[in-house]
Every structure is written in structure tokens, then in C-alpha cells.
Chains A and B, each alone.
Chain A
């Protein structure tokens, strides 16, 4: 029963997103009550589909960099050689999370110029913490007896990491990645303030011209993307959990 509700909601969300992107003019009657003084009810300064693709590209690149960095850090500080660096790495990841992305943009633009680069820096920093913390948690949760058996049977440190620790930690790491990606999907909208192409343009155009319809369209598309990506990554996570022998 619940699964049916979930499937129906998923199909509806995909359909609504597709319609918003491919046939935006069809929504003109829906959005026109939010406009004033005859302003256009549907975003008319570019293709919503193009913006969405750019937005997703930006988030994908930022997430990939973040995943690689956070995983590398998380693995390093859980090795005997890296344990001393755990507090330092935690501080860095925490600062990345607490420092507002807008402030990162403001600091990054003078250093690297406008465009995609400052946005990537802000997104990567902002998305590190959940992946990093979950990597550490996942690796630390691997049962001690399993690790002891792995060592006792003669698996090398690298074999233990790749064959035992990472596969068993994967569901927890994926939960961190899911959180990070969804945060980045929303946060990426601010990239438009420094000329990174993305759905933020729609929202900012709306704010600048006091056109609530634009803001709603941009927000709605970002929101639907976030829900669908969250849902898809959740499915991947459940698959990984089954593979890790966590549930029947």
C-alpha cells in the first residue's frame, strides 16, 4: 500500500518536472495570478531545460569533488597513520559547513573571478561535512570481530579496506552523500549571483523584477529535483544495505 503511494508520488513528481521544463508555457494560467502589471508569468530569458542541465552539472561536479575529498579524508583519519589528524580534519569539515556559502562566494570571487569556480568552491566546502562524518561513522561501525578475522586470515590493510571496510560502510557513506547532494542542489542557486549558470537565475530574475511567478518556478523546479534525487539515492542506499548483509 505504502509502496504504491510512493510509486504514484514519484511518477507524478517526474511528470510535473518534465512538464515544467518541456512545456513551460502551459503553466502560464497557473502562474499569472502571481504577476503584476502585465509581467510575463513564465520565465522568458532562456530555456528552463538548459538552466536545469547546467544546474545539475554544477551540482554533480561539486558533489563528485566533495565525495572524493571527504572519502579520502575519512579513510585517512581512520587509518592508524592518520588518527592524529582526526581533530584537524573535523575542524576543517565543520568550518566548511558553518561558514555561509554566500560568504565563501564573496571571499572566493576576488581570488578566482566570477563564474563556476567560486560556486564550486562554496558547494564543495558546504557539502563535505555530511560525507566526511558518515565515512568515519561507517568505517568505525564495522564490527571489531569482522576486522579481527580479516586481519587474522591475512588480508593486507588495503584488502581489508576495499573488500571489507568500505563495502560494509557503504550504506552509511551513501546516506551522507545523499544529504550532501540535496544540500548542494538547493545551495547551487546562489551561484547565479556570481554568474554561474543555473536555476538560481530564474529566482534572481524574479526577485529583481518583483515577479513572484519566476521565483515560484525556479523554486518549484529545484524542489522537485531535490525530492527526486533524494528518492533515487535512497533506493541506491537500500540496495547497498542489502548487499552489506544488514537486512534480510
Chain B
């Protein structure tokens, strides 16, 4: 668990971060979202002490980070940034091996880990290990950047606009991959973005920041249903709010006994996708892909529409 306890950071007399407190649960994804200059990156960079807080404390699993030597702290926390920051003069394998080498891992163990990570990120080790960053596509560079951040098996991964430099299609894929990766590894991720869509998609919890202050720290549902008045409300109050809300819910949440015609939908698909399919088919119910031996289930248009509106 990461406890951010009343931290502030002043640059001169300007407060870049003003008395921010939040707790990040182990194994969750927390997204810090805000405009540029909101202080979100500063908060992130104070977690691994790239920036020192002017006041307040940050504790990781109860241990005050101020008491840990900077380099030791950082080697234990994964760090991935926009534009990847890969070392252009090192091969992919050596880039990934950065932190394990610093930690003095044995060569054989490092080589195994590099291979494992390349496979995890769907890059053939035989093909990619010896390539240099400039020989990779933007999406591949980004994946290597995350692989490098995960190399020493950190429990925490900090990501600063990790997908900012990617085009929209690769970006959506990278977001899905990150979610799958987090599920698989169970790591704690703190991610900074200026994109509310990305925050809603990735975050278990979202911290909305503006002018150095934390305006709201809540689950995506909570933020959409009960946004803090003012900035947060304006940020998510667009006309597609009902659709955003539906994209957070799963079809399984609204399943009811019964059957329906047509191609079934996966139980973990979003309600937004289910709505889209229903609209397109001009149907009012949709069957779920049933697990073996389970009674048939379906989801209805009216149930979905119930979920989409302002809470009573």
C-alpha cells in the first residue's frame, strides 16, 4: 500500500502540489488525472523521490520513503514514462536488463528474465533482443519501456503518460495489455494521464487534480455519478456521460435468466458494447455466452437503459 500523507511541494513560492493525501491499495490501478500543471506528475515523481516533498510524508507498506536511500528506493519501483526514455545506445536486451544489472543479478538470471519479459510482451526474443531502440516501432518501444520498468519484479509501477506518444489504435491496445498485465502480475500501478477517457478505462480509483490540489479521489463509477462540483463536474459532464457509465459496467452484472436470439455476447463485455449491439440489431435482448451446464442467461435493453441515467 502507498500512503501519500499531506504532501506539498513548492517551487519557489508556487505550490505545485498543495496538501495532497491519498492511499493506493495494493494490487490496484490508481490514475492521477488533470490538466498540465495540475501537479499530477509531481505527485507521481514524489513517490520514487525524483522530486522531494516540501512537507508531508509518503509511506510504502508503512515504511517512510524519506528514510530509504534514493537509488535503492527507485530500483525497487518500476518507472515508465512518455516517449519511453529507452537508452538509444543499448540493445533491447540491455535496456530491459538495466535495473537487474544495477541490483547485481547473475548473468544467467538476467538473460532468463529478459527472455521472459520479451515473450510476455509478444516480442520474439530471437528477433528483438539484439535490436536497438531506433529499429523498433513506437508501440514496440513503448512495450520495451514497460518491460524494462518491470524487469526487477517491482511490486509498484509508476507510469507517467505512458501512452501519450502512441496513436489512438495502438494506444487502445496498449491500455488493454496493461490491464491484462496488471491482472496477471497483481502489481500496484500509479498512472498519470491528462486523458479522462484513459483514466475511466484503466483506473480502479481516479484522483482528479487541479492547480496542485486533489479535488476528488474515488472509483470511476463514483466520479461519473457524483462528481465533485466545479472542475470535476465540468471534466466529465459531457454528453457522453451515460455511455461512459455503461462502459464501466459488465454484462454479467445485469444478467437475468432467459434466452435471446442471435450471436451471444461475452459475460465480461461492457454494457456499452452490449448496448451498441442491441441498437444495431434493433433487438431488445441479448443472450450471454453460457458456461457449460449453466442455465441460459440474457441481458435486456431496458435493464441497460436503467443503468445509464442519473441516479434517482
Contacts from A to B (Cβ < 8 Å): 143, 145-156, 159, 164, 167-168, 243-246, 248
Whether the Cβ atoms of A153 and B81 lie closer than 8 Å is no
Judged by a CB distance under 8 angstroms, whether B89 is at the interface is yes
List 24 contacting pairs A-B, 8 Å CB cutoff, sorted by A: A143-B88, A145-B84, A146-B85, A146-B86, A148-B81, A148-B85, A149-B87, A150-B87, A152-B50, A152-B85, A153-B75, A154-B74, A154-B75, A155-B71, A155-B98, A155-B102, A164-B87, A167-B89, A243-B89, A244-B89, A245-B88, A245-B132, A246-B88, A248-B134
Residues of A within 8 A of B158 (CB): 152
Q: Tell me if A149 and B85 are in contact (CB < 8 A).
A: yes
A-B contact sample (20 more), CB < 8 A, given A153-B149, A245-B133: A145-B84, A145-B85, A146-B87, A148-B81, A148-B85, A149-B84, A149-B85, A149-B86, A149-B87, A152-B81, A153-B74, A153-B79, A153-B98, A153-B148, A154-B72, A154-B75, A164-B87, A168-B88, A245-B90, A248-B135
CA gap between A152 and B70 in the complex, in Å:
10
Contact A245 B79 (CB under 8 A): no
- Kindly identify which residue among B48, B102, B132, B135 contacts A152, using a CB–CB cutoff of 8 Å: B48
Residue from A152, A246, A248 with most neighbouring chain B CB atoms (10 Å): A152
Q: Is the CB of B86 within 8 A of A153?
A: no
Bound-state CA distance A154–B79 (Å) is 10
**How many pairs, one residue from A and one from B, have CB atoms within 8 Å of each other in the complex?**
73
Question: Could you tell me the distance in whole angstroms from the C-beta of B208 to the nearest C-beta in chain A?
Answer: 24
B residues adjacent to A (C-beta < 8 A): 48, 50, 70-76, 79, 81-90, 98-99, 102, 132-135, 145, 148-149, 158
Q: Would you call the interface of chain A mostly helix, strand, loop, or mixed? A: helix
Other-chain residue from B81, B86, B88, B148 in contact with A244 (beta carbon distance below 8 A):
B88
Q: Is the CB of A145 within 8 A of B83?
A: yes
Give Cα A149–Cα B84 distance, bound, in whole angstroms: 8
Nearest opposing residue in chain A for B135, CB measure: A248
A154 to B82 Cα, complex, angstroms:
18
Which residues of chain A are near B135, meaning CB under 8 Å? 248
Closest to B74 in A: A154
Chain B hits for A155, CB < 8 A: 71, 98, 102
When A153-B99, A156-B71, A245-B132 are in contact, do A145 and B89 touch as well, CB less than 8 Å?
A: no
| Cα(A145)–Cα(B141), bound, Å | 13
Would A151 and B83 be within 8 Å (CB), given that A156-B71, A244-B89, A246-B88 are in contact? Answer: no
Q: Which of B82, B84, B89, B148 touches A245 (beta carbons < 8 Å)? A: B89
Q: Is the CB of B102 within 8 A of A146?
A: no
A182 CB to closest chain B CB (Å) equals: 26
Least Cβ–Cβ distance between A174 and chain B, in angstroms? 14
Interchain CB contact under 8 A, A145 and B79: no
Cβ of B134: which chain A residues have Cβ within 8 Å of it? Answer: 245, 248
* Distance in angstroms between the alpha carbons of A146 and B95 in the assembled complex: 11
B102 lies within 8 A of A153 (CB): yes
Q: How far is the CA of A244 from the CA of B102 in the complex (A)?
A: 21
- From A240, which residue of chain B is reached at the shortest CB distance? B89
Cβ-closest chain A residue relative to B99: A153
- Are A168 and B89 in contact (CB-based, < 8 A)? yes
B residues less than 8 Å from A152 (CB atoms): 48, 50, 74, 79, 81, 85, 158
How many Å lie between the Cα of A244 and that of B88 in the bound state? 6
- In angstroms, Cα B79 to Cα A35, docked, is 74
**What residues on B are CB-neighbors of A243 within 8 Å?**
89
Q: Complex Cα distance A156/B72, Å?
A: 10
A147 to chain B, nearest CB (A): 8
Q: CB-nearest residue of chain A relative to B44? A: A152
Closest-by-CB residue of B relative to A145 is B85
The answer for the CA separation of A248 and B131 in the assembled complex, in Å, is 11
Q: How far is the CA of A170 from the CA of B90 in the complex (A)?
A: 14
Q: Please provide the 8 A-B residue pairs with the shortest distance between their CB atoms, ordered closest to farther.
A: A149-B85, A245-B88, A152-B79, A154-B74, A154-B75, A145-B85, A145-B83, A154-B71
Residues in chain B near residue A167, CB distance under 8 A: 89
